[in-house]
Amino acid sequence: MKSKLVFSTSAMFLGLLLFALGAAPALAQEGELKVVDEVIAQVNEDVITLSMLKRESKERIETLKQNGMSEQEATEEVTKRKAELIATLVNEKLLLQRGKELELAGDVEAEVNRRMLEVAKEQGITTIEKLDQAMKESGVDPVLTRLTLRDEIMKQSVMQQEVDRRIYFGLSTDEVKKYFEANQAKFFKPENVVISEIYLSFAGKNEADVKAKATELVAQLRAGSDFAALAVTNSEREVNGVRVAPQNRGKVGRFEVPQLREDIANAIKTIKVGGISEPLRGGDGYQIFRVDERTSGTTSATFNEDQVRQAMTMERAPKERDAYLQNLRNDAYVNIAKDYQDSVLPLLKITAAPQAASEGAKPASKKKS
């Protein structure tokens, strides 16, 4: 079963041995203490620090900016949701810990390698070593990329094994057939497209100049200029502060048309394969699209038991995943620093941990809070 992954780039502090909530001191000079970080949550024997929270916040701000928000709007939105972000980090820690208990590391590492090789192949790179070098030359840290990917796959693997598989295989044949008969429209195959993009940002520029450049690029492309070459030279799309066009050459991916943003769907609606859209104005820049492939949809449904089971699993999974996470939290030692308890504990639906732990006691790894 396939699941849509939502990627974040939270780095983990390896070997960090902190058991008391609050500031973590280290010796500086004789008798002088220097605060190196603030622990905002303890999850069994792992911790979440203020620096981790700041990194996650920065990444979410960048994502919101890419989706059209201004710097101020994105910052305000992320700040408003700080408690939710801390709760998410707690859940992620629990999933990573559970993955270790389930001994999924070997399978996860194999999947990381498979995906890295897939990326290398897409870019015409023959080995992982050459891919790492290309990433470094583009300002992307391959070690951090692997760590991020490893954590994301681990979290998803736990959910798939512990929740999704149980739903999928727990459905009776009668349930599956009845669901199909009542929901045939869900099993029409939607139209899908593969698109590439050139993105021009407004940042630090006159909007009229950006529009003029976008219009000129469209003219060049329609006259036969190479899309990938112009994307590498001109596209300003960034991920974590790094331009992605040198790696993906403008290719965005395959999408079901109903899942596209409405303005993008409308912009490419009548574009044939190989065709170029008019410049599309977004909140922070202009986009130019090329339709690389287009596959027509269907208006009739054919029963496929696997597809129906997947649809039923996706429908039921959110509620079951929430319940699973709650059980993990109930069975774990979760201690939130005092300054954050009022906002975070209600989201986690747990009570404050015993005061003794905040005085330096080391809890058992599976002590109930």
Could you tell me where the beta strands, DSSP code E, fall in 202-276?
A: 238-239, 242-243, 251-256
For residues 203 and 129, membership in a common domain is answered with no
Longest dimension (CA), the chain: 78
Summarize the confidence of residues 128-156 as an average pLDDT.
91
CATH number of the domain where residue 198 is located: 3.10.50.40
Least Cα distance to 162 among 44, 333, 325 occurs for: 325
Co-location of 144 and 160 in the same domain = yes
Q: Read off the pTM.
A: 0.66
Highest-scoring range by mean pLDDT, 58-62, 132-136, 247-251, 318-322: 318-322
Domain region containing 169: 1-187+302-369
Q: What is the pLDDT of residue 36?
A: 67
Return mean pLDDT, the chain. Answer: 86
Same domain, 53 and 169: yes
Q: Which of 244, 276, 295 is the last residue of a domain?
A: 295
Q: How many domains does the chain have?
A: 2
- Tell whether 126 and 260 lie within a shared domain: no
Tens digit of pLDDT for each residue in 108-132? Answer: 999 999 999 888 887 788 888 998 9
Cβ atoms 287, 280 nearer than 8 A: yes
Write the DSSP symbol of residue 20.
S
- What value does the mean pLDDT take over residues 358-369? 44
Is residue 27 within 8 Å of residue 33, measured between CB atoms?
A: yes
User: Poorest-confidence range of 69-83, 232-246, 264-278, 286-300?
Assistant: 232-246
Q: Which of 278, 275, 253 is nearest to 195 (CA)?
A: 253
* Token output for 116: 């890295």
- pLDDT tens digit string along 226-252? 999 999 999 999 876 778 888 899 999
Amino acid identity of residue 125, one-letter, is: I
CATH number for the domain harbouring residue 307:
1.10.4030.10
Place of tokens 């900016």: 65
CB count within 10 Å of CB 77 equals 13
Please indicate, yes or no, whether residues 278 and 321 belong to a single structural domain of this protein: no
Q: Where are the beta strands (DSSP E) in 44-191?
A: 46-49
pLDDT at 306: 96
Q: Beta strands 46-49 and 242-243: pairing type?
A: unpaired
Residues 93 and 164 in one domain: yes
340 plus 219 within the same structural domain: no
Query: Last residue of a domain, which of 295, 311, 343?
Result: 295
CA–CA separation, 46 and 16 (whole Å): 8
User: Are 198 and 85 contained in the same domain?
Assistant: no
β-strand partners of 199? 287
Among 268, 295, 322, which residue terminates a domain? Answer: 295
Residues 290 and 368 in one domain: no
